[in-house]
Amino acid sequence: MQRPRVEFWYEFASSYSYLSVMRVEALAGAAGVDVAWRPFLLGPVFLSLGWNDSPFNIYPPKGRYMWRDLARLAEKYDLPFRVPSRFPRNGLLAARVALLGVEEGWIAPFSREIMRANFAEDREIGDEEVVEAVLRDLGLPAGELLAAAVATDNKLALRHQTEEATALGLFGAPTFRVGDELFWGNDRLEDALDWANRRPG
Amino acid sequence: MQRPRVEFWYEFASSYSYLSVMRVEALAGAAGVDVAWRPFLLGPVFLSLGWNDSPFNIYPPKGRYMWRDLARLAEKYDLPFRVPSRFPRNGLLAARVALLGVEEGWIAPFSREIMRANFAEDREIGDEEVVEAVLRDLGLPAGELLAAAVATDNKLALRHQTEEATALGLFGAPTFRVGDELFWGNDRLEDALDWANRRPG
């Protein structure tokens, strides 16, 4: 029988994606559900909705609430958290690198370290030096991977994945997908895992 | 010692408010938390954010997702649900009537019946006849209450409550408030109750 599976769509710039990137592997493991990591870019998705910035910046009351909510949730999940001095940061390079880690099997720890850099250590994850340092700390060949990340085929792969996100009806991150069902938001992770076990996708 | 308390801000037109209106009394009771019911109007709040309609209508992918999410959640909570043929409905009269029920003690059952009419029975809760029928079914003096609902002082009371919502930083419904902490969304009801028990408001 096929193991149940959840697609995990996330963006390195996204604050609530931080919480799910840190939580998903342990929870999915406990639920016996495989995770397909799907980094993508929210920018083009937001543009298709008419937003040229994060809605948390466009709508200040939503933004103020979000940072407080995030601090409370980080405490609840026992995760480190510091309000970043820049938001949103550019997740493009990190997403390109992450794609390379899907087949090589290191996308989960890489994603966690990038997220920790952004939302716990206030580091500029848009800078190549930060991504390089994360790769090196994981014992990965940073130079090689950074070159492969910006090769044409990999750039196109991320573009296609982002187009697929829009085509699937995604409008935010994180989003969990089980079969044809979408679950939007870190607070739906548990529901998505329950659904995966109910109807194997 | 003061009993812990949560303010429950909701709007009769709001789909996720439906879920919380049906759930809040039982959950708060089990948690030993008092509920202060605070009906308000989302329209003016949305206008202050630049929206002249529900964001679920302005952004179709959000709207499609919301209805599916609502159906799944209603099933999870064992609540009746039917996608209403009109959305959002006008919650003005129902909110005015509800305010009268705060002191008289019938706001909870009245709110549940209005919500059931809107989101399970597809009835026009903006129509006086529907509100009247709900009041009568509850054994309340419908004619008297409908007259009191549109008296100037009561109209002003609802306006003030809506202005207070904006001043408190609310940007959607349902929102739970414990002390100075806001919890936005039906999915934060349990967190709000936990918070109330942690730091009595």
A47-60 pLDDT per residue, tens: 999 999 999 999 99
Count of domains observed in chain A: 1
Structural domain containing residue A180 = 5-198
What was the pLDDT predicted at A201? Answer: 45
Active-site residue, B17 included = no
> For all residues of chain B together, what is the average pLDDT?
96
For every residue of B57-118, DSSP letters joined together read HHSHHHHHHHHHHHHHHHHHHT------SSSS---HHHHHHHHHHHHHT-HHHHHHHHHHHH
Within 8 A of A188 by CB-CB distance, chain B residues are 69, 187
What was the pLDDT predicted at B201? Answer: 45
DSSP state at residue A168 = T
User: What token pair was written down for B13?
Assistant: 């037109």
Tell me whether B136 touches chain A (CB under 8 Å).
no
Mean pLDDT over residues A41-70, rounded?
A: 94
What was the pLDDT predicted at A1? Answer: 66
What was the pLDDT predicted at A2? Answer: 80
What was the pLDDT predicted at B146? Answer: 98
Find the residue in A nearest to B70 (Cα).
A183
Mean pLDDT over residues A65-90, rounded?
A: 98
* Residue A199 pLDDT class (50, 70, 90 cuts): low
What was the pLDDT predicted at A96? Answer: 98
pLDDT over 70, % of chain A = 98
What was the pLDDT predicted at B5? Answer: 97
The parts of chain B modelled with pLDDT lower than 70 are: 1, 199-201
- List beta partners, residue A34: A5
Residue A76 has pLDDT above 60, yes or no: yes
CA pair distance B123, B127, nearest whole angstrom = 9
Q: How far is B150 from chain A (nearest CA, A)?
A: 31
* Residue A129 pLDDT class (50, 70, 90 cuts): very high
H or E stretch at A91 = none
Residue A51: give its domain's CATH number.
3.40.30.10
B112-124 pLDDT per residue, tens: 999 999 999 999 9
Q: How far is A176 from chain B (nearest CA, A)?
A: 12
Tell me whether B198 touches chain A (CB under 8 Å).
no
Tell me how far apart the terminal alpha carbons of chain B are, to the nearest angstrom: 11
What was the pLDDT predicted at B199? Answer: 57
